[in-house]
Structure 1
C-alpha cells in the first residue's frame, strides 16, 4: 500500500521540483546543474510524502501541498549537501552516487546548498505551487524558517558536530535528534496540514505529536541501519557514525533495545492519529514504513 502511495507522491513532487531548476541564463548553468543533481538524484522523498499525507488527512487535495512538499525536500537536500562537505561529515557517497562536492567541487556545492535553501522559500511564495492565501503562506514560511534554523535543524547539526567522541545520555541524544532530524519532519507535517485549509488547533496538536514520534523513530532506525545494513543498500557509507565516534541509539541502548524503542515510537505516532479517520491511513502507513525501511 505505501509503495503505491510513495510512487504517486514521488512523481508529483519530482515534477514540481523539476520546474524550479531552470537557469535564468547560461552564466548560472553550472550552479543550477549542481542544484538539480543534489535534489533529482533519487531519494525516498519521506518529507514530501508526509506533507501530502497530512494535507489529505485534513481533507485537502494533494496538489494543494506541492509547494510544501517541494520546500521541505529542498531544505532537506541543502542540508545533505552541506552535511557531506569535508568540513562537516566529509562523505563521498550519497544515494549511491558521488556527493555534490565530489561531482562538482566544494565551492560549487556550498553555493548549491545555499541556492536550494533560498529556493525552498521561493516555492512557498510561488502561487503555482502554493495556491493558499497570503496569511497561510506566511504561516508556512514561518514554520519552515523556524524548523530549518538555529532553533531547529541547524542547531541540531551544531550539537551533532560538538558531540563527536562524547557519550550523551538518552535525554541529550533525543534533544539533538529532535532538532537535527525531527524539526524538519515536524515541519513537513505542519506545512501539509496548513496547505489543506482545514488545520484547526486540536488536529494540529495531534499531528505534531505524531510527527514528533516519527521524527525520532526515523533517526533511531537510521542509527540501526548504520550498524546492520551495507553501503550498497544504504546508498551511503555504512558504519560512518561508528567510525566518527558519534553518539547513536544502538551504542547507548544496545541494538535490541534500540529496535524496541523504534517500535515504541511508532506506536506513539499511531496512537496520536486515533482521532483521525481513514483519510489519515497514509500517515499510519508512513509511521510503519519509517521503522521497517532498509535504507
Structure 2
C-alpha cells in the first residue's frame, strides 16, 4: 500500500471508477458522497436517467474486469431511430462497422456495480450523506455537513480530486481562490422522465435495439430500452414559454401537447399524465 491517501468528492460513476483504478495501484482512497447509499435507498423517482454507453465506457469496464458483472443489463443499440413529425421513421446507424454500437444501461445499476467493486478492492472507504461545503487550500482542510444529522466536521487531506459533477464545491472553492476560471450558464431547458411499459407478454412496444428520438425543433423526446421490456423516456423541454414545462400543469394541457407533438407515443404511455405530474 502506498503511503499517500487520496480523497475523492463524489461517488458517482466517475468517482467510483477512478477509486477502483487508484486502489488497484495501491493507494488508500476515501470517497465522500452527498447522497445516501443507493444500494440501500432507491433513486428518487424521475431521476434515474439511462445511459448510452459507448466503446470507451465498455473498454474501461473490461480493463477493470467488470464487464461481465454488467453485461446482462446492456442492450445493444447500433443506431438511433428517428420518429419524425410526419410519422416517418428513419434508422441512422452510429457507424459503418459492426462494432459501432452504443449500449443502453441503467445509471443506477451501473453505479451499484461500481460501488460494490470499489469496496471489494479493500482499499476504498465510502462515506455517504456527507456534503462537502468548503475547501481551504491553505490548511488543506475540507468542511462537511452530514445530511442525516446535520452535524458539521472537518477533514485534512493529502491529495484531493473532485468528482462531484455539477455544482461542485471543489470547483467553487478553486474559483474563489482565482486558481481557475469557470463560467456557469443555466440551461433554458429541463427534462422529465417518463415510462413506456412493456407489453402484457413482456415484449417491447418499440424496436428494442435502438435509441429512439422524436425531434421537434426546440425540444425532443427520447427513449432507451430497459432489460425488463420497458423504455425509459425523457422529455427535454424549455422551462418557460409557449411549449414549456411551465405551460404543462394539468391533464388537458399535457394531453393536448403530447397528442399534437407525439401522437404515436400516447397509446404507449397509459400512465402519461399521472407520471408527468408526479415526476420532477
TM-score range, shorter chain: under 0.3
Greater helix proportion: 1
TM-score w.r.t. the length of structure 1 is: 0.24
Greater strand proportion: 2
Larger Rg: 2
